[in-house]
Structure 1
Amino acid sequence: MKFMRFLSLFFFFATCIATAQNKEITLSEIWNGTFRTERMDALHSMKNGQQYSVLNFDRYSRSTSIDVYDYKTLSKVKTLVSSASIKEIDYFTNYTFSNDESKVLLATNVESVYRHSTLGKYYVYNLTSGEVTLIAEKRIQEPTFSPDGSKVVYGYNNNLFIKDLISGDTKQITFDGEKNKIINGITDWVYEEEFAFVRAFEWNKSSDRIVFIRFDETNVPQFSMDVFGTQLYPEEQEFKYPKAGEANSVVSLHLYDVNKETLAEINVGKTYNDFYIPRIKWSENEDVLSAQYMNRHQNELDLWFINTKKDTAKLVLAETDKAYVDITDNLTFLNDNSFIWTSEKDGFNHIYHYSKEGDLINQVTNGTWEVTAYYGYDEKSKKIFYQSTENGSINRDVYSIKLNGRSKERLTKSTGTNSAAFSADFSYFINTFSSATTPPEYTLNNAESGDVIKSIKDNDKLASKVLNYKTSEKEFTTINVNGNDLNMWLIKPADFDENKQYPLFMYQYSGPGSQQVANRWNSSNDYWYQMLAQKGYIVACVDGRGTGYKGAEFKKVTQKQLGKYEVEDQIAAAKKLGERSYIDASRIGIWGWSYGGFMSSNALFKGNDVFKMAIAVAPVTSWRFYDSVYTERYMTTPQENPGGYDNNSPLSHVDKLKGDFLLIHGSADDNVHLQNTMRMVEALIQADKQFEWMIYPDKNHSIYGGNTRLHLYKKMTNFIDKTLGDKIQNQLDEDEVNIKS
């Protein structure tokens, strides 16, 4: 049956290719949803392991529901809750079950604070009685069920509160919270952005203790920016933002005893100065808490086990690295309180098994490839499930392996990007697969063999739609630059003629551990690149030194000098590509966003004999302006490494500008501050260098909202056409004359 479906699709697509592929992609289509993919939202495996729930939205009734489906049949079993039947709620945007799945927490009226944090109104819906309980009248943060489902803890105005779902009472448990001074249980700006978590509190297994991190940001320098809005006077937004080398929040660990109603600080058996607590997690033992402590340089990580009943602490694991130690969420406690850990200590990211005392039992995975996701451990089969790059650094596959490191099995069969969502009992997984030629498809797979049981959802309609457009293959290859084989993709015009010469437009991001050359389906930018190829450009992307998934040495070579080796690789790659007969070496451009904007600026300045133009969107122009956690992880502090900060800052090389430069930023960027662009503008002015720039009012680091993205990409496209495309237009004009004659 599946083979017949494949044949019919093959012949259908072949027919489409033969008869279509004549439409040209427009910017409006890229940003109006024409190429939107179908997804599965808020997927949750039910506790029984045989069913899963998803969040569904009914466009006609404007209501949302949580619907349960059977893994085996994929048929809908029931609707657990629908906003259409709850008078208090118009719709909800997310949901969380209590451990026993008798209650569900519904998120409504959610608004963003920063990248990960939100404020919203939350309701508890009792699935047995149908009772609806509003947690709080105000918008709150991170409401979380206790394991027994009887209470909810949440953050409000920098303090923590407990809502008792039985009595209906609410108890405030911290009282010193104050904006821009003290935060209890919710992370500060830099922890949220760089350690990627917001909820800094955790229930223990027996629901009688809560541990939380307290942030004292009193001495952290305050950043302010104007939000212009529509009123007569702008509003000033102020928040604590520790830039490189400046004071961080002073963090401490605290324990609240729910029964005794007591609050106490937790101390470990070591004195730390200027440190981070990037992760906390209770073990399977209700008394034992794990806490990770890290020095400011982030090259030493201590894992502590704290017995909160006996008030004792044991250092069970101390990991060091000459560069830095990555933080993950992979710490997993087994029933005997031994634990799973991932580490790069052998040069590649792998899985390790330790005893509850911190003794290494064995290294579970091994090889010159990277574990890229840890999915979990099945006690019954003694298997660990994970994702890795063993099938090539641009690909992802799902694997299983025994806890003892034996019987490894590749569970996914298609080459591209595979990711899994396992059932609670690890009997099934829903696989999401895509590649550069296949849009996302969701299948139900057997966790034992990996075999596909059924197709759940695909994007065949999108695939057939894309075939109507004049698109080109994304060619994956490598390019040898500075002694390294770097991953690269190329997109050439559909009517490519090797006897002609084409301008080259390069894209990169290049940040530590990142990856842009990956075998996955199109992002919005990919459609833009296809549009540029339609116009007659060759588009390329090269992942240089410092990027990820090729081992720690390759990734960490940029330590203490961000912007040196990465820029050298982009310049050398452009030179080498410019030697190809079909590329016009006099018309090479480069662009990037954020770290990529830092890179494209440097590439244009330092590679002024190679690059004719560059676009920098929301660029870091000096790492002195960026936050402490991210920057110091790779650079240490400006006080310790001034040369590393200044020698590779674009601000130090503006005098080298020869080509065309477009600088773009959002005025309300809380991440990479507008200060970066303003300092660049001033430096360029004083160096008497002409350039173009655009500021998007009240837009954050993502620069979106309303017509903004369309405007942004029109501006960039016009700039590319003006600076690289003059010969393209001349050729088009000549072709038109020839056709008429």
Structure 2
Amino acid sequence: MSRSHPDTGQQPPAEVSYPRLSARTLRFTLGAPRTFSLAPDGSRVVFLRAPSGTDRGTELWSYDVADRTERRIADPTALLSADAENLSPAERARRERTREAAGGIVGYACDAEHRVAAFALSSRLFLADLASGKVRELPAEGPVVDPRPDPAGRRVAYAANRGLRLVDLDGDHDRALVPAEPSDTVAWGVAEFIAAEEMNRTRGFWWAPDGSALLVERYDEAPVPVWHIANPARPDQAPNPVRYPAAGTQNAEVTLWLVDLDGARQEVAWDRAAFPYLADVSWTSYGGSLLHVLTRDQRTAHVLAVDLASGATSLVREATDPAWIDLIPGTPAWLPDGRLVTTVDDGDTRRLAYDGIPVTPEGLQVGAVLDIGEDGVLVSATSEPMEQHVAWVGLDGRVTTLTTDPGVHTGRTAGGLTLVASQGLDHDGVLVRVLRGDEEVGGKKNGGEEVGRIGSRQERPPFAPAVTLLALGPRQLRTAVLFPRDHVPGSARLPLLLDPYGGPHALRVRSARAAFLASQWLADQGFCVVVADGRGTPGRGPAWERLVLNDFASTLDDQVEVVSEVAKRYPSDVDPGRVAIRGWSYGGYLSALAVIARPDVFHAGVAGAPVTEWRLYDTCYTERYLGHPDEQPEVYDRNGLLDAAASLRRPLLLIHGLADDNVVAAHTLRLSSALLAAGRPHTVLPLTGVTHMTPQEVVAENLLLLELAFLRDALANVGQTAGPVAV
């Protein structure tokens, strides 16, 4: 397959560089409407949006469907007056786990009827009346985290200071529902590190549908090893102790409790020794509460129903897999008719299932359940990993695809209303359409009549990527190729720059302009930039994802194959004698691995926040793919970089934020030490005060410029690389 999209954009203002503009706009995401919630009667859509493409102060908005108007409900600037936003350590950690770089109102929760919305701002508690638009602050004890109204709209629960509190909507009776315990390792009502970082569960309490009780997580980090994150730029400050569950070590002890409104609580019982991971909790009006729990090796999962009288649980469904169980957002959950919604891996297709029976067709890979309605399920699904579509699956199993244009689409549905948010290669930003009804066209539902659009305030990028999407080689590797926008085919052979992520559960090659803006800018500096998704990436079926079992290092083979295929396809336009690679996180690991293991192919590498020793990464992610380090030490040795450091013969730039609590700086420092011990030249760039994200405008801009300078210099001196090339 091949799709080309010419440049139709505009040139940037001369006084603002692309790197600075990208950093200022958070890669052109600020101002996009997001985090949608639909009223069950279809009357309104609640969402978040920054006031402009360069303002990080996200606001709360409502869209009235009847008169097709938007109304700003809450403005953080007005609510805080002249006060600067003040975030608690707990809120900063929560945002780091969710990769939230914006400010202001970054999350909210509504009651069942969408009459009110609660949100935290500067660690204070606010309540918005969505009908009148009035916002008021509620009294709260301590820094507020994750406030949520009960479904009946009478009270708000919120986490604060390691306890869970409750306040009436009129502001009276703020009280500790679950008081904090004396131990600083115990917390109630928030997700532990592993759940938030690796299981996509960012919450720690769930209301009963009638608002009469809650299920509340309690975790105790006492068994988790204490690590210390120091700030070398401030030797007067003590290192920050953090509990980090590295592979092979102990996790936090997680329990779940049923708590009534008087504070009485009953522990929910399941075999926590065998199933220590609490992946998710579902409690809706369609049925009783469900738990999704996993064994530590993640090869067995149980869906459990909770007996609210005794706290006992009973098995609803068991799933097993010889490699690992994938966690699919929105599952498990009850259908209105009492059947259980899950996915099943059937052959090489991940299919939606009702009571274990597949209902979506072979070849349609289901990635998430977006919403469950009275007559069906809205899902994210695709038959082509470069695209993401929205489909409706009726209770009878009939499937209707609601999006057909190439692109990346997602959606929500409620009350006869469907919202579809779309990105594509033919337009900038996010296009949000609101649809009403289920019109039949040619015997198929089309998602309804468009009854409005929600505006985007994103900055328009200064250019449109000139990207060609391909499926290369015997493995049909999904690949994006970008040349300088003024490149004349055959006029010059350009150096190749690979720009992958390349690891499990993430895609870079998508049918959306935003995915390739930085890559296009790099191409415009004189490169042919190539982005490729190899084995382990989602959307191509379970077998493809499981090729990385015990073998992260093999993901490099796909990048090598892409270099060969691109060189064959563009023999007059690329120079395989000058190949560089850059990446961050798993992409950083891949970049460092490339120049160490395959210097015959890769001549320079930039590795940002790389994992270099998998024993230093967390339990849930690492053990899912590589097993337990005590049981398979050879797997960890084979996939790490430290033992292979002496093989480095190419220029390597290592970049790491010293405040990173996800991929800690020890990864880069240990690799640097191993390289130094082997006498291998390399460059290390430490970033003081920077975490795994780099949202700071000046840091993000200058990093890109420094990378560019390093790569240009390294590729200009390929023939002068010291030492023999060992393959």
Q: Name the TM-score, length of structure 1 as normaliser.
A: 0.84
Distance 1:103 1:569, change over 3 A: closer
CA contact 1:159–1:175 (8 Å) conserved in 2: yes
CA distance in 2, matches of 1:570, 1:549: 18
CA distance in 1, matches of 2:74, 2:9: 48
Confirm or deny that 1:97 pairs with 2:94. Answer: no
Runs of at least 5 residues in structure 2 that lack an aligned partner in the other structure:
86-103, 439-445, 719-727
Correspondence 1:272-287 to 2 at 5 A:
272-273=273-274, 275-284=276-285
Correspondence for 2:268 among 266, 269, 283: 266
Partner of 1:571: 560
**How far does the alpha carbon of each residue in 1:68-93 deviate from its partner, in whole angstroms, 9 at most, with x for none?**
433355234x6656678879897962
Confirm or deny that 1:36 pairs with 2:28. Answer: yes
Correspondence 1:143-182 to 2 at 5 A:
143-165=147-169, 168-175=172-179, 177=181, 180-182=184-186
How far 1:44 moved relative to its partner?
3.1
CA distance in 1, matches of 2:480, 2:392: 30
Partner of 1:216: 220
Correspondence for 2:190 among 178, 186, 190: 186
Correspondence 1:80-159 to 2 at 5 A:
93=105, 94-109=107-122, 120-125=123-128, 132-159=136-163
Partner of 2:531: 541
Q: Which amino acid aligns with 1:298?
A: Q
Correspondence for 1:584 among 575, 580, 585: 575
Q: Which amino acid aligns with 1:512?
A: P
CA contact 1:510–1:544 (8 Å) conserved in 2: yes
How far 1:308 moved relative to its partner?
1.3
CA distance in 2, matches of 1:63, 1:389: 34
Partner of 1:326: 326
Q: Which amino acid aligns with 1:105?
A: A
Partner of 2:64: 70
CA distance in 2, matches of 1:568, 1:476: 20
How far 1:168 moved relative to its partner?
1.6
Partner of 1:641: 632
**How far does the alpha carbon of each residue in 1:621-645 deviate from its partner, in whole angstroms, 9 at most, with x for none?**
0111100011011111101111111
Q: Which amino acid aligns with 1:98?
A: D
How far 1:153 moved relative to its partner?
2.0
CA distance in 2, matches of 1:18, 1:108: 37
CA distance in 1, matches of 2:77, 2:506: 43
CA distance in 2, matches of 1:520, 1:162: 43
CA contact 2:429–2:458 (8 Å) conserved in 1: no
How far 1:173 moved relative to its partner?
3.6
CA contact 1:436–1:519 (8 Å) conserved in 2: no
Confirm or deny that 1:479 pairs with 2:488. Answer: no
Partner of 1:207: 211
CA distance in 1, matches of 2:154, 2:160: 20
Partner of 1:733: none
How far 1:22 moved relative to its partner?
12
How far 1:404 moved relative to its partner?
2.0
**How far does the alpha carbon of each residue in 1:529-562 deviate from its partner, in whole angstroms, 9 at most, with x for none?**
2233223211101211111110000111111222
Runs of at least 5 residues in structure 1 that lack an aligned partner in the other structure:
1-12, 110-119, 355-359, 728-741
Confirm or deny that 1:418 pairs with 2:409. Answer: yes
CA distance in 2, matches of 1:214, 1:102: 30
Distance 1:289 1:527, change over 3 A: closer
CA distance in 2, matches of 1:500, 1:682: 40
Q: Secondary structure at the match of 1:707?
A: helix
CA contact 2:468–2:480 (8 Å) conserved in 1: yes
Moved more, 686-695 or 303-312: 303-312
CA distance in 2, matches of 1:20, 1:81: 35
CA contact 1:594–1:620 (8 Å) conserved in 2: yes
Correspondence 1:403-552 to 2 at 5 A:
403-406=395-398, 408-422=399-413, 424-435=414-425, 438-446=428-436, 448=438, 449-450=446-447, 453=450, 456=453, 466=462, 473-480=466-473, 483-493=474-484, 494-498=486-490, 500-523=492-515, 526-552=516-542
Distance 1:173 1:442, change over 3 A: closer
How far 1:527 moved relative to its partner?
3.0
**How far does the alpha carbon of each residue in 1:126-169 deviate from its partner, in whole angstroms, 9 at most, with x for none?**
56896834241421222221222222222222222222445822
How far 1:205 moved relative to its partner?
2.0
Q: Secondary structure at the match of 1:513?
A: coil
How far 1:395 moved relative to its partner?
1.1
Distance 1:137 1:401, change over 3 A: closer
CA contact 2:275–2:294 (8 Å) conserved in 1: no
**How far does the alpha carbon of each residue in 1:31-77 deviate from its partner, in whole angstroms, 9 at most, with x for none?**
3449836522443323420332344666899998655433355234x
Confirm or deny that 1:50 pairs with 2:63. Answer: no
CA contact 2:142–2:161 (8 Å) conserved in 1: no
Partner of 2:98: none
Distance 1:84 1:33, change over 3 A: closer
CA distance in 1, matches of 2:514, 2:9: 22
Correspondence for 2:694 among 703, 707, 723: 703
Q: Secondary structure at the match of 1:444?
A: strand
CA contact 1:180–1:239 (8 Å) conserved in 2: no
CA contact 2:380–2:390 (8 Å) conserved in 1: yes
Q: Which amino acid aligns with 1:333?
A: W
Partner of 1:10: none
**How far does the alpha carbon of each residue in 1:700-738 deviate from its partner, in whole angstroms, 9 at most, with x for none?**
0113314111111111010111112579xxxxxxxxxxx
CA contact 1:302–1:317 (8 Å) conserved in 2: yes
Distance 1:447 1:699, change over 3 A: farther
Q: Which amino acid aligns with 2:523?
A: A
Confirm or deny that 1:632 pairs with 2:634. Answer: no
Correspondence for 1:683 among 656, 660, 674: 674
Confirm or deny that 1:376 pairs with 2:366. Answer: no
CA distance in 2, matches of 1:415, 1:285: 34
CA distance in 2, matches of 1:20, 1:623: 43
How far 1:26 moved relative to its partner?
4.1
Q: Secondary structure at the match of 1:722?
A: helix
How far 1:312 moved relative to its partner?
4.0
Partner of 1:317: 317
Aligned-pair RMSD on alpha carbons?
A: 3.4
How far 1:513 moved relative to its partner?
2.7
Distance 1:18 1:533, change over 3 A: closer
CA contact 1:499–1:581 (8 Å) conserved in 2: no
Q: Secondary structure at the match of 1:303?
A: strand
CA contact 1:385–1:398 (8 Å) conserved in 2: yes
Distance 1:244 1:292, change over 3 A: same
CA contact 1:604–1:657 (8 Å) conserved in 2: yes
CA contact 1:439–1:459 (8 Å) conserved in 2: yes
Correspondence for 1:389 among 374, 378, 382: 382
How far 1:602 moved relative to its partner?
0.8
CA distance in 1, matches of 2:210, 2:537: 43
How far 1:258 moved relative to its partner?
2.3
**How far does the alpha carbon of each residue in 1:391-428 deviate from its partner, in whole angstroms, 9 at most, with x for none?**
x221122222322222x222223222222233x21333
CA distance in 1, matches of 2:55, 2:624: 49
Partner of 2:723: none
Q: Secondary structure at the match of 1:619?
A: coil
Distance 1:577 1:298, change over 3 A: same
How far 1:95 moved relative to its partner?
3.8
CA distance in 2, matches of 1:127, 1:34: 29
Confirm or deny that 1:597 pairs with 2:588. Answer: yes
Q: Name the TM-score, length of structure 2 as normaliser.
A: 0.85
**How far does the alpha carbon of each residue in 1:211-255 deviate from its partner, in whole angstroms, 9 at most, with x for none?**
2222122121011111356x6602421111110000111222222
Distance 1:447 1:594, change over 3 A: farther
**Same amino acid, percent of matched pairs:** 22
Give the number of the structure whose alpha-carbon radius of gyration is greater.
1
Query: Larger relative CO (CA 8 A, sep 6+): 1 or 2?
Result: 2
How far 1:351 moved relative to its partner?
1.0
Partner of 1:363: 358
Distance 1:325 1:277, change over 3 A: same
Distance 1:436 1:124, change over 3 A: same
Q: What count of residue pairs does the alignment treat as equivalent?
A: 680
